[in-house]
Amino acid sequence: MIDIRITADKLDITDCLALTEDPRSGGNAIFIGNVRDMTNGERVLRLEFECYKPMAINEIRKIAEAAIAQFSVRNVVVHHRIGILYPTDVAVIIVVNAGHRDKVFDACRYIIDTTKQRVPIWKKEIFENGAEWVAAHP
Amino acid sequence: MKLNILAFGITKDILGAAEKEIVVMEGISVGQLSHILETDFPQLKQLKSFFIAVNEEYAEGDRIIESSDEIALIPPVSGG
């Protein structure tokens, strides 16, 4: 099972766990990414996320399918929030499960790392004195 | 032919709009379009990376663009 959501609404880990509930799965790995309040010593007031939604959903689906094929996991949920987020807000939740625990850690890490490399979602950090698109410049 | 280009993230700031219509020659490739855009908007060259998506997929430089294609500029992503 694969469930992908990109939404401006608050993310809910309980929803994600309900979606992956599976009597054949004995191990679950969860990654939760939330907004930090500092970047390189500068206070972050908020993040503004935007995305190219149809392509972002396609890319996340490819990543989830690759994770299932490569690590033999059973279920993958990726929920990503967009819009304006403040420190401590949850930006992404990934839940992966499988029959046994060994592969779920690797699959979960693969999904978040590849999401950060390929999925067309962008965030702008808003500081007290300015703003910057994250990772845009070398 | 006319192309409608979608711009996201920092490329939206560089182009000054979320969508821009440009006129290009028929049979243009993704690489040629990229070169034209970098000439018109030199700030694109300062980005860490800059890809063009065609119909919601990352496109290689030799891909030929049709006027009906959906073209999007993909600056370095930063989700997660």
Exposed / middle / buried, residue A82 (Cβ in 10 Å: 0-12, 13-18, 19+): buried
**Average pLDDT, stretch A89-116?**
97
Q: What is the pLDDT of residue A82?
A: 98
- Closest partner residue to A136 (CB to CB) among B9, B57, B79 is B9
pLDDT tens digits for range A58-70: 999 999 999 999 9
Distance CA B27, CA B15 (A): 23
pTM, whole model, 2 decimals? 0.95
pLDDT tens digits for range A7-25: 999 999 999 999 999 999 9
- Closest partner residue to B56 (CB to CB) among A58, A116, A124 is A58
Q: How confident is the model at residue B8 (pLDDT cuts 50, 70, 90)?
A: very high
Distance CA B12, CA B7 (A): 5
Paired strand residues for A121: A51
Residues in chain A within 8 Å Cβ distance of B48: 135-138
**Average pLDDT, stretch A53-80?**
98
Q: Which residues contact B78 (CB under 8 A, 6 or more apart)?
A: A116, A121, A122, A123, A133, A134, A135, A136, B9
Q: Across chain A, what does the average pLDDT equal?
A: 97
Q: What is the pLDDT of residue B77?
A: 98
Distance CA A35, CA A43 (A): 12
Q: How confident is the model at residue A124 (pLDDT cuts 50, 70, 90)?
A: very high
Q: What is the pLDDT of residue A60?
A: 98
The residue type found at A57 is I
Is residue A11 helix, strand or coil?
coil
Q: Interface pTM (ipTM) of the complex? A: 0.95
Task: Quote the Cα angle for B12-B16-B22, to 5°.
Answer: 90
Residue found by looking up tokens 């401590």 in the block: A88
Q: How far is A49 from chain B (nearest CA, A)?
A: 8
Q: Is B49 on the interface with A (CB under 8 A)?
A: no
Residues in chain A within 8 Å Cβ distance of B56: 52, 54-55, 58
